[in-house]
Amino acid sequence: MNDENNFELSLLFPKFSSLFDDVEHKSLSPLSFLREFEHYWLLEVDLPLVSKKDIQVTFDENTINVQAKLKKIYSQENLGQIAKFEYFKKSILLPRNIDTKKTTAKFQKGRLEIKIQKKVTGKKIKIE
């Protein structure tokens, strides 16, 4: 279905995507990847067809929440039913040792990268 208010995305696994999407709240679950490094976590979230100004990132204790409004309504047909989506939404539980005050984010070419610093605990002792 294509008109000026709707667009179609070719999903790799369309049958599985509906397991994570929220039809009632018109939100899709974006692909994401969380990697751990020595001093920080790096969360990458794919947000195609989104403007930087329409992205919100928030923390709730040790959960990071990403929400973004799509530029156009996305429609998906499944078993004769049409679902329309307007947002990407994702919540990810993080370890407790994070420093939310030092978190940074950048959005480029449809990908949001969030660098979440780890809290420094203890003191490293130099051995001579």
Domains along the chain with CATH numbers: 22-118 (2.60.40.790)
Mean pLDDT of the chain: 82
Tell me the CA distances in angstroms from 45 to 7, 57, 65, one per residue in order.
Answer: 21, 11, 11
Surface-to-core class of residue 27, CB atoms within 10 Å of its CB (0-12 exposed, 13-18 middle, 19+ buried): buried
The two structure tokens encoding residue 49 = 């067809």
pTM for this one? Answer: 0.73
The pLDDT tens digits for 22-61 are 666 677 889 999 999 999 999 999 999 999 999 999 998 8
